[in-house]
A and B are shown apart, each in its own frame.
Chain A
Amino acid sequence: MADNNIFRLENVKVWFPVQEGFFKKTVGHVKAVDDVTINVKRNETLGIVGESGCGKTTLGKAMMLLEKITGGHVYYNDDGTERDITTFNKDEVFQFRKKVQMIFQDPYSAMNPMKKIYTEMEEPLIIHGYKDRAEREAIMEEALKLVNIPVDYLFKYPHEFSGGQRQRVCIARAMEINPKVLVCDEAVSALDVSIQAQVLNLMKDIQKEKDLTYVFIAHDLSVVQYMSDRILVMYLGKAVEMADSKELYDNTLHPYTVSLLSAIPVPVIDREKNRIILKGDVPSPINKPSGCPFHKRCDKCMKICEEVEPELKDVDGKGHFVACHLYD
């Protein structure tokens, strides 16, 4: 069972210090990711949703070692042995970079405007020791074929591409070094609807072809549900619910997930809607409320919620995790 996990996160914390005054005294922490324990199974797509500031992007970056992990462990396992990436040395990090790649939100700033696509795509290969030019070009051509971009585009500049094409080039660039995991941070939210569908379908096809594992981070639950096998819902740096994507939709447990689902406008008319409009805003992650982070906006708030922080627990024994006192 444990062998099935490509990533296993144990009590992962990413805290940013808040400094004040002349001597930069640390007066508190922004707890961007706070005590998250989850797993990512091999070849699955794990969707991570939540509102802005919930820590989903930070969690994704922490899994790639692009953000310093303050506490906890991240175990990575692609060959049968589990290793803690937080203890990696420089060389191991470099090897790890080959295995896990990221697709960023904004395809416009993810490419250096001064460089041709050719240079842009060649660089990662040079870094990872592909010395022969013909070999590099063959790899680049194959990667571009994967995302349906003709080779002549190699000698163009990023500004000559549309948003969708750029995002596809970004995917091609990440795929060149044959990663095992792709972390997609809001990969389609900057794209138009019709282009978004193209990129989503393309990503699904690539996953099938290359046996990839996706960590798909987005704020749009409809997109996440379309892409993912399992979904993790985050709120204020905490994991509040994690379940199979269908189960999460059919049998929503956490009140936050319920209201999140109901807030999403659905492009179908005459659908029965039972909308719960949340009051207020997301509290600041510096001064988190005590107890359950959601209790101030929750309509099912009980006394215990204000005092005791709920733990993420498997409530049905089949992998539907929820952190809520309602299901104690």
Chain B
Amino acid sequence: MENNNKTNTIENARKYGTKLWKKKVRKFLNNKLAVFGLSVVLIYILLMVLAPVVTPWDPLEPNFKVKLAGPSAEHLLGCDSLGRDLFSRVLYGGRTSVLIAVISSLIGSAIGTVLGAIGGYFGGIFDKLLVRLQEIVSCFPQLILVLIVVAFIGTGTWNLIIIFALTGWTGCFRLVRSEFIARKEETYVKVCEAFGMSSVKIMFSQILPAVLTTVIVQLTMNIPGYVMQEAGLSFLGFGVPMTVPTWGTMLNAAKATNILINYPHCWLVPGAAICLFVLAVNFFGDGLRDVMDPRQQ
């Protein structure tokens, strides 16, 4: 009976304990820019996923009758030089652009986190090798790497993702490594050692959760960078093949002087799409950092 009572009080306490995530959600909702960013991103995603429903036009189907037509009721944002509907191309193109950015960012962060954790926590020779490798990778000009890969295997969505991931893990590696080095000296890690906890358990259950929040924030903040990079590379013709609609290839298609001057909607539309998306993700990322950073509680 007495034992029962005890569990009851603990159970009760559990019910009324602090719900940190509730506080975090409230804090996030108080940040108007972050909420704006999140809503814009969500709208983007929704529109991209529902693209076939939202727009009747095929992004690849040329229609020379409406070549370079301005915005109208039929074609909401006008058409490009081949008469393809720009609104539809922005949505379908966004799918590829965002996918490239998200997957590259995820893979890069994963590689960086694993290597950074190992290097930072254990140190030693392996850590030194990793740091050198990281330095080499971040010194190597990315554009040249892209050119080499394109020369050998041609342009393609997955090629771009692989290049982004292979060159993009270094930032995350540095971040995670330095966090691990700092945190393994924290008193609470020493406390765990004093209790006889194994180093692998300390690494995963004590340090990694704290580091992961920073990684997630970093991951979000990387996405706009990749969107921009994809656009830049595709604009130059080294990114995704011209046949695949992305925000970058749309810009590429609009780079003729005649179009640049006389039909600004052709480049304004993808340009604005990129701009708004990048801004929104950055706002969201900033808000996320304010909420997630354990030092700011």
A residues sitting closer than 8 Å to B (CB atoms) are: 64, 66, 93-94, 97-98, 101-102, 104-106, 109-114, 116, 118, 123-124, 127-128, 134, 137-138, 140-141, 151-157, 159-160, 170, 173, 177
Contact = CB atoms under 8 A, between A and B. Distances in A.
A154 B9 CA distance: 11
Nearest to A106: B187
A173 B195 CA distance: 10
Given A134-B3, A154-B10, A155-B14, A109 B187 contact: yes
Nearest to A150: B13
A109 B188 contact: yes
Given A101-B194, A123-B195, A154 B3 contact: no
B196 A127 contact: yes
Interface string B194-238: 111100000001100110000000000000000000000000000
B17 A154 contact: yes
Interface residues of B, number: 30
Given A66-B190, A109-B186, A114-B294, A123 B197 contact: yes
Interface of B: 3, 6-7, 9-10, 12-14, 16-18, 20, 186-188, 190-197, 205-206, 209-210, 294-295, 297
B44 to A, nearest CB: 31
A10 B198 CA distance: 29
B213 to A, nearest CB: 8
B13 A93 contact: no
B217 to A, nearest CB: 15
Contacts of B193: 66
Main secondary structure of the interface of B (DSSP, over half): helix
**Interface-centre pick from B12, B17, B20, B192 (highest chain A CB count, 10 A):** B17
A113 B14 contact: no
22 contacts: A94-B196, A102-B194, A104-B187, A109-B186, A109-B187, A109-B188, A112-B206, A113-B294, A114-B209, A134-B7, A151-B10, A152-B13, A152-B16, A152-B17, A154-B13, A155-B13, A155-B14, A155-B16, A155-B17, A156-B18, A157-B20, A159-B297
A153 B18 CA distance: 9
Contact of B18 (A97, A127, A137, A157): A157
A102 B190 CA distance: 10
B202 to A, nearest CB: 10
Most central of A93, A116, A152 by chain B CB within 10 Å: A152
Given A104-B191, A127-B196, A141-B6, 6 more contacts: A104-B187, A104-B190, A106-B187, A137-B7, A141-B9, A156-B17
